[in-house]
Chains A and B, each alone.
Chain A
Amino acid sequence: MGYLIEGESGDWEVVVGLEVHAQIISEAKLFSGAATGFGAEPNSQVSFVDAAMPGMLPVINEHCVAQAVRTGLGLQAKINLLSVFERKNYFYADLPQGYQISQFKHPLVGEGTITLDLPDDATRKVGIERLHMEQDAGKSLHDQDAVRSFIDLNRSGVPLMEIVSKPDLRGPEDAGAYLRKLRSILRCLGTCDGNMEEGSLRCDCNVSVRKVGEADYRTRAEIKNLNSVRFVMQAIEFEAVRQVEVYENGGKVNQETRLFDSAKGMTRAMRSKEFAHDYRYFPDPDLLPLEISQEFVDGIKASLPELPEQKKERFLADHSLSAYDAGVLVAERETADFFEAVAEGRDAKTAANWVINQLSRELNRSGESIENSPVSSQDLGKLIDLVSNKTISTAAAKTVFAIMYADGGDPAAIVAAKGLTQITDTGEVETAVDNVIAENPDQARDVRDGKDKTIGWFVGQVMKATGGKANPKAVNELLRKKLLG
């Protein structure tokens, strides 16, 4: 049925649209040659153009245009060969020009789609309305002084893509899935690093509610500057409930901008007076219309990497993985690459298992990313080989892996050093099994009487007797044969 809010008067549907501002990966700013890196000394990455000094003029960074086109292609969207930069006029301390150079009537990219990965292997296509390029504003610090705000213009002029979804999302889960997928596509394409903590990916969400079955959209509120997926989901959850309550109490939802208080998990209206903004958009007379050629677009298309969606389909087809496993592996390009290296010439399901479970668990625990994994894909592959050629048991492999992760080392060497080579000599194992059965006639009778669980106990005894070197699966089979016939 989807995400619904149960109100007193019936069920309510939540309608969400997301506007994501993604900082384009580039060395220099969109219209000036200043640097874009994060965390520099205040106002040290500011040119006279960024500071809006008298007489300064913008000149566009071609690489940024290519990055935006690349992103549009990654979103299966229409690329507009002619687009126009317009000025969005308003006053704020971090907007030195008194206008932001953006795109309004003629954006660079038109409609596209994103496929959401939902629980239970479900997927759903969600519409992208448009993508356009614009300048970022500087940063204001309001908490450094009692009566003054501090302005740092390093971020002023940094290139952004504004990606606007259609209002096709229906709740916090959808929003989370959308953001994760979008982030994964941007990172795969190399057009944005998707780092929400550092602000290179910011999300505004438009939330409204309506009774199930209503055709039209009701008034929406905008919640600005959410900088984590978790906060986006929490904000939507809170805001939707708030709006339902307003309606059910006979009130009206205002079209307004709200902020999310992450400490309290609530949204609140902005304190400053909300004037209806009249941005007085008009084409920027300092710039020419952006006309790109089909060749330019085709060149970028030809150089696109495999996108998460395509990779997932390929993994499903080639490796017969489950949709869930495939989805997890393609979420980050580095994970997918690691997996493919491990899976080369090996059983894909096994490789997936190790990457998704053992490796990811350890990486999460130590806070490492897969690019810096202490266990390389080659070594993990070698470890898997040792299991598949029966040199060690799976249980032993887990021990070896833990050692490799903590201290490094070659798997074969560790096996030898720790004496973990499993006993493959069936005669030796059979002897051990016979001995254990002989020494434990009561338990043997229990098994014959149907107490299946006792087999597990027997396996444990045999493993103890063989110093852990027998293959548990083989031992189990042998026991069953001998005890049950």
Chain B
Amino acid sequence: MPLDEATVKKIAFLARIKVPEDELDHLAAELSQIIGWVEQLAEVDTGAITPMTVVADMTWPKRDDTVTDGGYAGKVLANAPEVKGSFYTVPKVVE
């Protein structure tokens, strides 16, 4: 099923990626081609098959409830583009 520009715009917003207006058309065509191609999976009879969400065949690994991490705000903030004191900062959000 081909994707139109409006759909691409909606998806791009969900993904928070700005797509310049003049690229929307071409991008929609590319995405439509890819989606059209993957749609051949509909041919496969998957009736009662359980989806393979996990590759590893093992029991779940767990941690003890002890504090073993954190306590290095300096390192955590070191790569931040904008910092005030010990906070990250972003453009103000109004609720």
Contact = CB atoms under 8 A, between A and B. Distances in A.
**A, B from the same assembly:** yes
Interface of A: 26-28, 32-35, 41-51, 59-65, 84, 91, 93, 140-142, 144-153, 259, 270-272, 275, 278, 280, 283, 285, 287-291
B15 to A, nearest CB: 9
A142 B16 CA distance: 21
B65 A42 contact: no
Interface in B20-49: none
B18 interface: no
A240 to B, nearest CB: 23
B92 A26 contact: no
A28 B70 CA distance: 10
Given A34-B69, A43-B77, A142-B94, A60 B87 contact: no
Contacts of A142: 92-95
A251 to B, nearest CB: 24
B54 interface: yes
A130 to B, nearest CB: 20
Contacts of A289: 53-54, 60
Interface string B57-95: 011111111111111010111000010111111111111
A61 B87 CA distance: 27
Q: Which of B14, B67, B85 has the most CB of A within 10 A?
A: B67
A45 B71 contact: yes
Contacts of B65: 26-28, 61-64
Contacts of B87: 42-43, 141, 144, 150-152
B56 interface: yes
Given A150-B89, A272-B94, A44 B73 contact: yes
Contact of B62 (A62, A145, A149, A272): A62
Interface of B: 13-14, 16, 53-54, 56, 58-71, 73, 75-77, 82, 84-95
A290 B69 contact: no
A421 to B, nearest CB: 55
Contact of B76 (A35, A46, A278): A46
A60 B71 contact: no
Contacts of B73: 41-44, 46
A272 B71 CA distance: 34
Contacts of A61: 62-65
19 contacts: A28-B66, A34-B67, A34-B71, A42-B86, A42-B87, A43-B86, A48-B76, A49-B69, A59-B63, A61-B62, A61-B64, A65-B62, A145-B92, A148-B92, A149-B93, A270-B95, A271-B94, A290-B60, A291-B59
Contacts of B94: 142, 271-272
Contacts of B14: 278, 280
B70 A34 contact: yes
Contacts of A149: 89-93
Q: Which of B77, B82, B93 has the most CB of A within 10 A?
A: B93
